[in-house]
Amino acid sequence: MTSSVVEPCTFEDMQVDLEKNVQQDVRSQWVLNAPEPPSPWHVALDSFRKTVSNYREKTSSLSDQSCGTLLLSVLHVVFPILVWGRSYTVAKFRKDFLAGLTIASLCIPQSIGYATLANLAPQYGLYTSVVPPLIYAVMGTSREIAIGPVAVVSLLLSSMVQKLVDPSTDPIGYTKLIFLATLFAGIFQTSFGLFRLGFLVDFLSHAAIVGFVAGAAIVIGLQQLKGLFGITHFTTKTDIISVLKAVWEAFHNPWNPHNFILGGSFLVFILTTRFVGKRKKKLFWLASIAPLVSVILSTLVVFLTRADKNGVKIVKHVKGGLNPSSINQLDFNSPHVVDVAKIGLIVAVVALTESVAVGRSFASIKGYQLDGNKEMMSIGFTNIIGSLTSCYVATGSFSRTAVNYAAGCESLISNIVMAITVMISLQFLTNLLYYTPIAIIASVILSALPGLIDINEAYKIWKVDKLDFLACAGAFFGVLFASVEIGLLVAVVISFAKIIVISIRPSTETLGKLPGTDLFCDVDQYPMAIQIPGVMIIRMKSALLCFANANFVKERIIKWVTQKGLEDDKGNSKSTIQLVILDTSNLVNIDTSGIASMEELYKCLSTHGKQLAIANPRWQVIHKLKVSNFVSKIGGRVYLTVEEAVASCKSNHF
């Protein structure tokens, strides 16, 4: 026990205390007499006025310009290449040219593989690596991103469209639906950017994307076992159980080991070059050209040894020539139009999520900002035009973008170089792909999959947020054991469930005063914080007190006051709580259910002889509490800060 000496109270001390009380009363009036906040109608109207005003300003500034200048300004907005192209130099072109050739060497075998993954003929993957990169090069805002077909989108398209039309029995009808889905995806993507609806992409959280991509990578890898082992009959389902069952049944039938030997050998070669490229950064080009070298060498081996006569499956005919028009193949009278539109929406969101994430990652490395809405519009236009030129959904590829960046690209000219290289290959070199083994295409796809499975990021998510990890795991196992769309659905549902749980069960914290300061903090986070005898200070950790969480918050506070207020955590007797102060600094808004719960809380406290005070209420909150007469019910005990609430109530002997 410590003894204390009571000092005599002087006139000067009484005068200081009186001045403090007067200042506290004045500041309380600042809170209570604040002007009314703008209504939702006024907020919407003000936003509309600002939009119209900005439009008028832009229109008036443009009206003063000549027609030629006006047209040039519009073209600069639509085609950013006209802006940065003016400062383009020969030195930059030299770097972009080498980078374009490097990613083309990776793009050609990948495009053929991703087309087969999408259940399309090989040339469609090459088509998708010609027109979309050219369109994006003149409209895109990222400097490093490489546009083309990607594994996840290819799998997503094939898994959903083949439920409508079987590609093995009706390949033409299936291809038409793919083009139609691409058109819808482009329209949705353009709309997202035009109407600034980019937040829709955020429905797929980072954790969900990590799990979804990892699950899709494993499914893609299992699907490639068909080509790697030369299996003739294989399941069209994407879940792991069906695929493993198909592989197991294939092993019980006669099969040719030459496919596996050829594909496995070059898979080891590609992975080895990738390992060397990571260890020695100057040799990054080894990993970039390894897939193309594998295709060339394996094709020569098959051609010289006539291995196709001995059971090695080959690509055979790849249609050459430039992209043909596919306008006549867009069948809007199909009975599956509505279903295809839904597929287009899902693919649009997934493709945008990957592309924007890739673009922003490399933009942050280079130190510039990426306009998300412009990116969505450019990707959207790319796919709209692509659907008219025999292309399927294209987006930013992480693997090719990483190679593009490592190759030293300076601008989107590298995409143009890549597209021209693929165009030349389509025009003159497709006949050379006749003897390309399907096992090599499978090896190229398999070699790209390890980069899609980020175990370290999943572990980081587990350490940081268990609910986020649940969304990650849900997406992973949903894709793995059900289907790609089920995995996406599970991830979105878990993410929304997390938001709902946080909203309806917000936590509250008891505050204490930090020694030597005027700060009041959570006593659990800061054990040295001192709780005021007879006063319980509670802060709600929620931005909204509404019908979903009001009752929960009220009952928790009552439980704390009536039970925990009698003894501390060690069971020692505490002074009876006489005053409850609600710190509403986190509370942005409150509805009628929230006000009703506050009134019930006040009645319960009054019944037990306790008082209620409110500290630091926000504008909307204090306005609604005044209008509902709640402020008058609690005797006007509303204060600017918790410190003032404690001081004022102490002076009034609460």
pLDDT digits (tens, 9 = 90+) for 180-191: 999 999 999 999
| Residue 306 CB neighbour total at 10 angstroms | 10
The span from the CA of 23 to the CA of 31, in Å, is 13
Beta strands 611-615; 544-545: pairing state: unpaired
pLDDT score for 608:
84
**Closest to 439 (Cα-Cα) out of 634, 262, 651:** 262
**Closest to 131 (Cα-Cα) out of 400, 323, 319, 318:** 323
pTM: 0.79
The span from the CA of 647 to the CA of 99, in Å, is 69
Give 587's DSSP letter.
-
Task: Tell me which H or E stretch contains 22.
Answer: helix 11-32
In the three-class reduction of DSSP (H, G, I as helix; E, B as strand; rest coil), residue 560 is classed as helix
- Cα pseudo-dihedral 527, 533, 534, 539, rounded to 10: -30
CATH code for residues 505-651: 3.30.750.24
Q: Please count the helices (runs of H) and the strands (runs of E) in the chain.
A: 27, 10
CB-based contact 215:475 (threshold 8 Å): yes
Beta strands 395-397; 146-148: pairing state: antiparallel
Residues contacting 228, CB < 8 A, separation 6+: 259, 260, 263, 264, 267, 439, 442, 443, 446
Q: Cα 147 to the chain's mean position, in Å? A: 19
632, two tokens = 């008058």
The span from the CA of 341 to the CA of 196, in Å, is 20
**Closest to 374 (Cα-Cα) out of 647, 145, 534, 565:** 145
Give the phi and the psi of residue 119 in degrees, each rounded to 5: 60, 35
**DSSP sequence for 446-481:** HHHSGGG--HHHHHHHHHH-HHHHHHHHHHHHHHHH
Give the phi and the psi of residue 104 in degrees, each rounded to 5: -65, -40
Residues contacting 225, CB < 8 A, separation 6+: 231, 243, 247, 442
pLDDT score for 347:
94
Q: Where are the domains of the chain?
A: 89-220+312-444+455-499, 505-651
> Which residue stretches of the chain have pLDDT < 50?
1-16, 18, 566-574
**DSSP sequence for 32-72:** HTPPPPPPHHHHHHHHHHHHHHHHHHHHHHHHTS-HHHHHH
**Closest to 159 (Cα-Cα) out of 127, 118, 189:** 118
**Closest to 155 (Cα-Cα) out of 246, 107, 223, 245:** 223
**Closest to 295 (Cα-Cα) out of 425, 124, 118:** 425
**DSSP sequence for 337-397:** HHHHHHHHHHHHHHHHHHHHHHHHHHHHHHT----HHHHHHHHHHHHHHHHTTT----EEE
Give strand ranges (E) for 432-585.
Answer: 508-513, 520-522, 535-540, 544-545, 579-583
93, two tokens = 């072109």
In the chain, what is the straight-line distance between the N-terminal and C-terminal CA atoms, in Å? 26
The span from the CA of 84 to the CA of 247, in Å, is 52
502, two tokens = 């946080």
Beta strands 544-545; 520-522: pairing state: unpaired
46, two tokens = 């003000």
Q: Cα 433 to the chain's mean position, in Å? A: 38
